[in-house]
Structure 1
Amino acid sequence: MTRDELLQKNIYLIDLDGTVIDSGKRHADVMSVILDSGNPEYADGKPRTDFNADEYLAYKSDGHSGKEYLKEIMGLTPSSADDIQRAWTEQIEFSAYLNKDRLYEDTIFFLNIIYESAGVVFLTARRNVDGLKGELRRLCLNAYADYTIVADPFDAVAQKEKAYIALKKMYPDASFTIVGDTENEYEMALKNKIECRLLNRGFRSRKFWNDRKVRSYDDLIAVYKSLKIKR
């Protein structure tokens, strides 16, 4: 089948960060650097605990924000936590940090299978579009997508839904499936009645999904098996 014929039949909307790209190290490293250089203020005069990358990522994956980690776990004052989190948001997409991102071990296996059998649309919330383009080239992901939808992180759900509606008009007979790792993908799927597969290894944990009584998957191999794709 041609790409257009595949798009007319099935389309997979695949999130990037936390789904096919492992960007956890970037998220933790940026926070660590900012804490080391930002002169944070602590409510008790000293940190309750030193910054721990694994603890930080695990805390966030249970549904908490980075700012909550700074205040509740490390003990920063509210105003200092605001300043640190603002700096993190400003720096998280710097090119030097984007170079820390890597593919998950099962990414290429999964994308190869999906791209052979269906249309593929990448979904991502980024502000640094040039940085994203460079990352897609570096990680050799352009070969596995028919389209890439880039949304503003502060309006991601609405912009992704708008893009989905546009795709639905272009390919009215296609069946859609979302593959992601956060409540953004889940809410979009729920609202638009789209089949969905959610991972618990990215930016949301198994506990996060279990607490909401939502089924989740450990990796893309498990997602692939659940889709029962004919090869």
Structure 2
Amino acid sequence: MDQNAPRALLRILAVIAVVSFGLSMYMEQFQLAWLQQHPITVNLLSSVIGFASGGLVVALFINRIKDRDVARTRHEPMAEDWKVVTRAVREPFGLLTSAELHDVHEARDASAVAADGSLAEEVTDSYARKTASVWGEPSMEPAEWQAYSAAVRAKGLAFLPVARAFAKRYGIAGKKFDTAFSEFEAKLTALPENGDTSGSSQAYSAAGSALQGFIHSVEELHYDITLHQVRAAKKGRAATP
């Protein structure tokens, strides 16, 4: 997509703004009496300065917004794909979106009713209780919490190679990605292999926070790369004769 304001126009506005401002400063310093005798000229000169500088600022602002809009549009497919890829690891931490949570509840409710006729509310409450236990004091029986916390770690470990493959596919693997990845990996691998038996979920909430940070970092990194590509492409087109 082309710029709303071509580079040639931006250069012209910049030159007019600088020249007219410089001329006004010169005349004010050395031709003040003449300016006082020609108020219409003063008004015209002020109008030129205002038009050129204001037009330049507006044009740059519009171009900047358009760059970000193009980058955001190109970023959206990756963001949707990333949401799908991270869903399995977000679920045990209770980090699903409201729409995803609704789908989970519907699936679990249908499964429970089909299996043993249990009430839908019981399934929903059970999931909410389990995910809440990750962020606070576990509200489950010790054996149940140990099994659930072990599953949290297992899903996290299974997600790690998937995340690396995803980063390579979208061209975002690099130092910034590795930093965010390593932070989450460290929190995850620090969790007990066979689940927590201490009755405290502090380490799991730390892993959940690291997961949130990692997910956000990947999205932000891809958007920044996309924005850079959009601007670089426009510079390349402008340089082409």
Q: What is the TM-score of this pair, normalised by structure 2? A: 0.28
Between structures 1 and 2, the one with greater strand share: 1
Between structures 1 and 2, the one with greater helix share: 2
Larger gyration radius, structure 1 or structure 2 = 2
Q: Which has the higher contact order (CA 8 A, sep 6+)?
A: 1
Q: What is the TM-score of this pair, normalised by structure 1? A: 0.28
